[in-house]
Chain A
C-alpha cells in the first residue's frame, strides 16, 4: 500500500514535468497549427537560464590567498563574488542560494523574447507549409540550439541546487499513519508539483477568462473563421508562441535542481513529450495535461522492483507500449478532436 501511494506521488511529480512541456507544445499546435520539434530545446534553454543567472550572481573578482596552495603548488587564487562585496557574505550567500527561484523572474522575459524571435523569424513562414516541413525545420533548429548551448556551457551536466530551505524530504507516511521513512518525498519535488499546478491553472484561467484567451480558444476550434472576423491573428499567434516558450522555459528553470541540466536534456524530453501530446490527443489542452500525469504514473509503477521482476524490461518500454495501445484503441488519443493531423 505504502509503495503504491509513493509511486502515485512520484507519478504525479514526473507527470507534472511532462504535462508542462506537453501543455506548451499543445498551445503552439492548437493555436498556430505548428508541430514544434524545438520545444524540448526551449525547455533546455529555460534550464540554462537558471544556470546563467547563477553564473551572473557568482561573477567574481580574484584574490590571491598566500596561505593556501593550488594543485601546482602556486598560491591559491580565490574567487570572491561581487555580491559578497555588495551585500556582505551572509546575504550574498542567500542570494546565490536562491538563484533558481530568482531565475523565474529572469527566465520569463528571456523566454518570451526567444519565443517571439523564433515565431517572427522562422515559424511564421511555415504556417502554410506541410506539417512534415514544420517538423523538420524545428528539428534542425533544435539541433542548432543545443549545439550552441553546448558550445558555451560544455557537455557535462552543471549542478544547480535548490535553496537550502528546500533540501531534504517531507514524511507523508507519518501523516497517514505509516512508520517513519515509509513515504517520503523531497520538498523541491513537491514545490515543482505545486508550481506546475499553478502554471497549468494559470494557463487555463488565462484562456478561459480573458478576451484574448477567448479568441485563442475560438482560433483553436476554428482558425479560419476567427481570421475572417478580422481579428489580428498574427499578433496573437506571436504572443501565444512567446507564452508557450515561457511555459516551457519555466518548466526548465524549476527542473534544474531535480536533474543537473545538460545540453541534450531537451532531446531527452522531446520524444517523450510528443508521445504525451499524441496520447492526450493533438490539440487538446486538457488531454495533454491528463496524458502527462497518466504516463508519469504508469512509468512510476513500471519501475517498481516487483513489476520489473514479473516483466523484465517493462520499465524500458512502458511509455511506448501505452502510447501504442491508446492510439490503437482511441484513434485520436484520449481527448483529441476529429480531423487534426490526420493527413
Chain B
C-alpha cells in the first residue's frame, strides 16, 4: 500500500497513530496532580514537536544519507519563517500561500548556498554553511531590520495591507492565521474524569504535513536517489568511477532538506505569526544536529524522536522551579528534602542546559546510533530472552 514495503508501512502507521493520538499520549497525568508538570499535551509544544520533527527529518536527508554535516541549516528555517510572515502581511492570513512561499524561498536560498558550499566537503563544507548562516543571522538582526524586524522579530501589524483579507479582523485586532476560515489556534477539549485533552487545529494541520513529509522521506530513503545519496556517503571515489556525478545528487539533497527546513519555518510562522532572527543563529543549527544525533542519524524515525526529546526538555524541564521541587520531595523529612532539592536543582529549571549537555554526551559516547539504537538494543535483549537461539548473523537491514 502507498508504494511502501510492509515494514515501512508499519513504521508509517505507528507514526500516524502516535501523532494523531498525541493529545492523549502526551497528557498521561490528570490535571492538578503533581505529575501534571510533565504533561506535554498542550498545543504549542505539540506543534513544536511535529514542526521540529519536519526540520530534523529534512536535515537527516542531507546529513544522514550523504554525510554532509551542514552547520547552517537554521538559516533556511529562518528564511521560511520570514517569507511566511511577509505573506501574512501582504496577501492573506491563509496559511497555504504562506507555506508554499516559504518552501519556495527556502528552496531558492538553498540552491544558492548549496551550490557554493558543496564545492567543498568535510569540515570545509560545514564551515561554509556555518558562515552563510551566521551572515544571514547577523544581517537579519541588524542592517536588514526593515525586512526582518531585527531584534524584535518580524510581526504582523494592524496597518498591513493584506490584500485579500483586509488589515484588521472585525473586532479591530490583527487577524490570526487560518485555513479557509479554520483558525490555527482553535482548540477543542475533551474531558475524561480528571483528564483534559486538547485538540488543536494548528497541531493537526502540522501533524498532517509532518506525516506527508515523513512519507516522502520514506520514499526518498527507498528510492534509487536515496541509495545514491548513501553511496556518496560511503564512497565518493567509487561513485565517480561508476559514471555517477555526485555533485547534482548532493545539491539535490541539500535543496530538498533546505525545503523541508523552509516548510518547518513556514509552519512555525503559521502557528505563531512572528519570525525572530535568533532562529538563524548557529546554535539553532546546532540544535537540529543534536536532534538528529540524539534520535539516530540516517534512521527514519530517529530525528523525530530526537526533536521531541529536546523540545520536551526545553519546554518542560526548564519550567520546573525550586518550589515545585520542594513540592515533590515534601513527603520527606525536612533535612532530606532540602538535600534532595539541592541535588536535583542544578539539573532542572535554569539548569536544563546542563542536563541536555550530559544526556547528549552520554548518547554520543554509549549510543552512537542514538535513541533508535537504544531501542534496538532493548528489543534485541528481549528477543534474545524469548528465542534461545537467533542465528541470523550479519543480516543488516537498510536504515529505517
Contacts and interface: CB of A to CB of B under 8 A. Distances in A.
A and B touch in the complex (CB under 8 A): yes
Interface of A: 35, 122, 125, 129, 131-133, 135-137, 139-144, 147-148, 151, 267, 271, 274-275, 278, 282, 312-313, 316-317, 320-321, 323-324, 327-328, 331-333, 341-343
A143 B353 contact: yes
Interface in B105-133: 116, 119-124, 127-128, 130-132
A139 B361 CA distance: 8
A147 B361 contact: no
B138 interface: yes
Among A140, A271, A323, which residue has the most Cβ atoms of chain B within 10 A?
Answer: A140
B139 A316 contact: yes
A142 B360 CA distance: 11
Q: Which are the 10 A-B pairs with shortest beta-carbon distances?
A: A143-B357, A313-B143, A320-B131, A316-B138, A140-B361, A147-B354, A144-B357, A140-B360, A137-B364, A317-B135
Contact of A143 (B134, B141, B356): B356
A113 B186 CA distance: 58
Contacts of B131: 275, 320-321, 323-324
Contact of A324 (B128, B282, B353, B358): B128
A126 to B, nearest CB: 8
A136 B142 contact: no
B235 to A, nearest CB: 10
A316 B124 contact: no
B293 interface: yes
18 contacts: A136-B290, A139-B286, A143-B353, A143-B360, A144-B357, A271-B282, A274-B127, A278-B127, A282-B123, A313-B144, A316-B138, A320-B130, A320-B131, A323-B128, A327-B120, A327-B127, A333-B124, A342-B121
Contacts of A132: 67, 69
A331 B116 CA distance: 12
A132 B125 CA distance: 13
A142 B356 CA distance: 11
A278 B116 contact: no
Contacts of B116: 324, 328
B123 A136 contact: no
Given A143-B360, A320-B135, A324-B116, 19 more contacts: A136-B364, A137-B364, A139-B360, A143-B356, A147-B351, A147-B354, A147-B357, A151-B354, A313-B144, A316-B142, A316-B143, A317-B134, A317-B139, A320-B131, A327-B124, A327-B128, A328-B120, A341-B122, A342-B122
A52 B380 CA distance: 49
B270 interface: no
A277 to B, nearest CB: 9
Contact of A140 (B124, B357, B368): B357
Contacts of B283: 267
B365 interface: yes
A35 B123 contact: yes
Interface string B342-359: 000010000101101110
Interface of B: 67, 69, 116, 119-124, 127-128, 130-132, 134-135, 138-139, 141-144, 282-283, 286, 289-290, 293, 346, 351, 353-354, 356-358, 360-361, 364-365, 368
Given A327-B128, A328-B116, A313 B139 contact: yes
A129 B134 CA distance: 28
A137 B351 CA distance: 19
Contacts of B122: 131, 341-343
A271 to B, nearest CB: 6
A301 to B, nearest CB: 17
Contacts of A324: 116, 128, 131-132
B361 to A, nearest CB: 4
B211 to A, nearest CB: 29
A140 B364 contact: yes
A132 B69 CA distance: 8
Given A133-B364, A275-B127, A141 B351 contact: no
Given A151-B354, A317-B139, A136 B130 contact: no
Nearest to A279: B127
Interface centre among B116, B124, B135, B354 (most CB of A within 10 A): B124
A341 B358 contact: no
Given A133-B368, A140-B360, A317-B138, A148 B354 contact: yes
Nearest to A267: B283
B124 A144 contact: no
Contacts of A328: 116, 119-120
Contacts of A137: 361, 364-365
Given A271-B282, A274-B127, A316-B142, A151 B135 contact: no
B203 to A, nearest CB: 30
